[in-house]
Amino acid sequence: MGHWSAVASEKGVLNGMSKAKVLVALNGKDIIGTLRLTSLRPWVIDPAYFTPVHRPVYLVDMAVRPGYQRIGVGRSLIEQAKVLAAALAGDAIRLDAYAGVAGAGGFYEKCGFTERGHVVYKSVPHIYYEWIIKR
């Protein structure tokens, strides 16, 4: 675990899932990736950095099992998140990524997200990203 991680409790996970749409990537019966989309703004996200929209959707808690990284699982999750966000009448998907070694900034750029700003939280640089939903 890195400095951004915390031990998850069952109560915390269930609470987060109850307030979000969860996407899961499977290989057979094994979960190999997941992410959550929520309309609730994470406290670390400062809306001043983003394009003003009426219904932003936030991508949080994305993870892909290490043995399945760099083979398209994450990109597939992102593409499904874009479809789901549009179906939920969202105007944009917003997220923050770590700018350090464990960060995924380049990944989000390859998936079509635009960098919107840099912030530092607990001495760790973050990058804000946004994808505007075109109708």
- pTM of the entire predicted model: 0.87
Domain containing residue 63: 10-132
Residue 112 within any structural domain of the chain: yes
Instruction: Give the per-residue pLDDT at 122.
Output: 80
Residue 14 pLDDT > 80: no
Residue 33 within any structural domain of the chain: yes
Residue 6 pLDDT > 70: no
Residue 98 within any structural domain of the chain: yes
Residue 70 within any structural domain of the chain: yes
Reported as a pLDDT band with limits 50, 70 and 90, residue 1 is very low
As a whole number, mean pLDDT of residues 102-114 equals 88
Coil, helix or strand at residue 101: coil
Residue 110 within any structural domain of the chain: yes
Instruction: Give the per-residue pLDDT at 10.
Output: 63
Instruction: Give the per-residue pLDDT at 132.
Output: 98
Q: Is the dihedral of CA 43, 46, 50, 55 positive or negative?
A: positive
When divided into structural domains, the chain yields a total of 1
User: Do 92 and 47 contact (CB within 8 A), yes or no?
Assistant: no
Residue 35 within any structural domain of the chain: yes
Residue 123 pLDDT > 90: no
